Structure 1
Amino acid sequence: MIVDHRIYTCHPGKLAAFVKLYEEAAWPLQQKYLKNCLGWFTTTEGELNTVVHLWGYDSLADRDAKRGAMAADPAWGEYLAKSASMGLLQKQENRICKPAPHYEAYTKAKG
């Protein structure tokens, strides 16, 4: 398994608008195409105005296939265009994480 760790920083005062737009327009599409959300959070300490979400995939190929299918959906393009036109985001980051050997062994042992 790999984890796509995404961090979005909103402009001050725009977090609520981003979360609302995401919930209405992006979340249903991501549930349809990506399916395996491991967590979706807003920060309350540290760097504020930040959203963190984690998506689990079987492999990079699985991630590419699922994200490619979502990107091909016109509704996803509409969401991206609306988000951009609203000027909600200051920056976006994502990291691809893979389990450390001891954690991978631990999860296999748990069954």
Structure 2
Amino acid sequence: MPEFLDVFDRLAMPIQLKYLGAPVGFFVSDIGALNQVVHLWAYESIADYDQRRTARDADPDWPAYLQASAHLIVAQENRIVRAVQFRSLGHLDGR
């Protein structure tokens, strides 16, 4: 995990920030299945998601991260989730 976090911080995060903005959250597992990373990014729409990720993937520095992290990633799962609005939470919008 320390090696992955270092590689991500040095090589991926600057590019992610450039195209995706700051993450909503970045977490590592502490209890349960270990050595898992969960990071959440907010998008205005599916079109916004597509545009930002396409731009990130076209960045000439992105392949360096993919190559440096390839041996560290065993499985990856991507999900699109939608914020739920609860009146009881007031202004909370899931971001």
TM-score range, shorter chain: 0.7 to 0.9
After superposition, the Cα gap between the structure-2 partners of 1:102 and 1:49, relative to the gap in structure 1 and judged at 3 Å, is: same
Counterpart-to-counterpart distance in 2, 1:77 and 1:83: 10
Amino acid at match of 2:60: P
The aligned residue for residue 29 of structure 2 is: 43
Offset, 1:100: 2.7
Is 1:94 aligned to residue 83 of structure 2? no
Amino acid at match of 1:50: Q
Amino acid at match of 2:82: K
Given that 1:36 and 1:57 are in contact with CA atoms closer than 8 Å, whether structure 2 keeps it comes out as no
* Corresponding pairs, count: 92
Structure scoring higher RCO (CA < 8 A, sep ≥ 6) equals: 1
Counterpart-to-counterpart distance in 1, 2:10 and 2:49: 23
Q: Which structure has the highest strand share of the two?
A: 1
The aligned residue for residue 51 of structure 2 is: 65
Given that 1:30 and 1:70 are in contact with CA atoms closer than 8 Å, whether structure 2 keeps it comes out as yes
Consecutive unaligned residues in structure 2, runs of 5 or more: none
Consecutive unaligned residues in structure 1, runs of 5 or more: 1-14
Offset, 1:102: 3.4
Offset, 1:101: 4.8
Given that 1:70 and 1:76 are in contact with CA atoms closer than 8 Å, whether structure 2 keeps it comes out as yes
Give RMSD over aligned pairs: 1.9
Offset, 1:83: 1.3
Point out 4+ residue stretches in structure 1 off by more than 3 angstroms: 105-109
TM-score (norm. length: structure 2): 0.87
Counterpart-to-counterpart distance in 2, 1:39 and 1:108: 15
Secondary structure of the equivalent of 1:99? coil
